[in-house]
Chain A
Amino acid sequence: MSRVPPPWITGLGFVTSIGNDRETVLHSLFMNRSGIEPHRFLEDDRSQVRAAGTIKEFDLSDPNWATWTLPNRYTLSRKVLRSLPPHGVYALCAALEAVESAGLKPDGLSDPRIGLHCASAGSTLFVHRFLEEMYRTRGRRGDPLGVSKTISGTLNFNLGAYFKIQGANLGFSSACASSSHALAYASEEIRTGRQDALLVVGAEDLNAETLLPFAALRALSHREAPGASRPFDLQRDGFVGTGGATAILLESRERARKRGARPYAALRGWGQASDGSDVAASHPEGRGLARAIRNALDDAALRPGDIAYINAHATSTQVGDTSEARGIHSVFEPAGSTPPVSSTKGITGHALSLSGALEAAISALCLHHQWVPGNKNLDEIDPECACLNLPTSGYRADLHTILSNSSGFGGSNVALILERADP
């Protein structure tokens, strides 16, 4: 099958801790403004977790959808809301923004040549509620929409039906690399000519059921907001959880040009590799990530010196950030290249399976507006990470190419390379 040029990102949509639209997210990046706030996940919460990347304007905290409130600019019918988990609401709102920003109408995705790739962990809150009822009634009763709004395919079911998707419709599950895989394989679908465009959506609930289990793993920060998330800092003590959604419309250049669409960036290439080491912790030397980066550079036909900025996965955990620093260093140091590296999780928090799409979309905005984000809360660089060029403030730069890393449990690593796109 012949391969077509790298596809364009023509639509972006956000529901995130740092903003619920492109302009607000961009402004937060310019100001290095944190979306992390004091937060307790449970009533009478006895955990030591005190912060989260909260989602403003939405209140989806009650499991009863009839109580939910959304910003007025979104008008989702009750028919639609009834089968959605909280992150499905975020996902649909982000998707509607992405579609609108691409200059399309919602019914413009209903085409056999347009697909949908999604990533989420499902809704553990709704799984819990659903199973609680099942056990209590010994299987006698259950929410008729309990399956479609709980399991990990929920975004594909709901968004596929809403947008009447006729092309590919599938989900990706590689923990915190999931939505990077979803975007990477969307580019494969386009480059191999199987599809002309795909909507790529990552989303996560923001609640105790999704995030507090990571406290049991001792992976969450115990620090106070807004300084709790501090990638590469010596005093970092874990990640700060967040949720929300990001949607990206990826489109072949031919199709985008034909309809006069404006690109935010191109997805020039990508690579993946696994650590082959541990269930949860990344390889101490970042070997899998380093191979993923090399594979991405090969795919993009670029050298390390061509990368102008690296958006790191760094979540603010001791092991993870050091591993990533070593992995990046092992690729770029031999080439004599020291591109600036920052982790925007310092202001967003860590969005789990959504983080890859979120950071790819942030990278696309940075390319479009020629901006290198800074590392928030990086007061004292961890000597183990000092091998990297780590700016503490953002700045304007002549950016042509960005590398965006993602790593997930099981040592799954994805490296995406985005480049500036001129219509």
Chain B
Amino acid sequence: MLTPDQIRTKLKGYPEPVVEACLEFERTRDPSALNDFVLGVLDFYTNDQSGRDPSEPLPSESPADNLEVDSVTVAEVVFLLEGLIGIEIDDENLRNLRTREDLRRFVTETARSIPAR
């Protein structure tokens, strides 16, 4: 696990609630802290209306949990998380993650394997 300063450096430019959620997990090792982290990163990556390609459908303002997430975005979130909280996730475990809820649940369950403080 990184130090709080290293987390802030790695997440520079990300929304503050995402940074806070990660710092909260670092402090408490409470997996539920990662709920806000995962959903916040997904929002940051995908729910962005600035510069939207006009041919794309409008993104939902508050994405439903069952909204699908493309496989590259899933891989990016996991790549970011691996670098932040020191877990390793096998590719096989990612293949069935289709929605925001799938990813949120998977991440928090995986984080339970990290010993509590």
Distance, CA A79 to CA B72, complexed state (A): 11
Interface 0/1 of A20-54, CB less than 8 Å to B: 00000000000000000000000000000000000
A-B contact count (CB 8 A): 56
Which chain A residues lie closer than 8 Å to B82 at the CB level?
A: 141
In the complex, A76 has a CB within 8 A of chain B: yes
Which chain B residues numbered 7 to 53 have a C-beta less than 8 Å away from chain A? Answer: 10-14, 44-46, 48-53
- CB distance A67 to B12 under 8 Å? yes
In the complex, A78 has a CB within 8 A of chain B: yes
Q: Interface range on chain B: under 10, 10 to 19, 20 to 34, or 35 or more?
A: 20 to 34
Which chain B residues lie closer than 8 Å to A74 at the CB level?
A: 51
In the complex, B79 has a CB within 8 A of chain A: yes
Distance, CA A144 to CA B82, complexed state (A): 13
Distance, CA A144 to CA B10, complexed state (A): 17
Which chain B residues lie closer than 8 Å to A106 at the CB level?
A: 53-54
Interface residues of A, count at CB 8 A: 26
- CB distance A78 to B79 under 8 Å? no
Distance, CA A62 to CA B83, complexed state (A): 18
List the interface of chain A (C-beta within 8 A of B).
62, 64-68, 74-80, 82, 105-107, 110, 140-145, 162, 164
List the interface of chain B (C-beta within 8 A of A).
10-14, 44-46, 48-55, 72, 75-76, 79, 82-83, 88
Kindly list the 7 A-B residue pairs having the minimum CB-CB distance in the complex, ordered from nearest: A66-B13, A75-B51, A144-B75, A67-B13, A77-B51, A76-B51, A78-B48
Given contacts A68-B13, A75-B50, 13 further A-B contacts (CB under 8 A): A65-B13, A66-B11, A77-B48, A77-B50, A79-B48, A82-B45, A82-B76, A105-B54, A106-B53, A107-B54, A144-B75, A145-B72, A145-B76
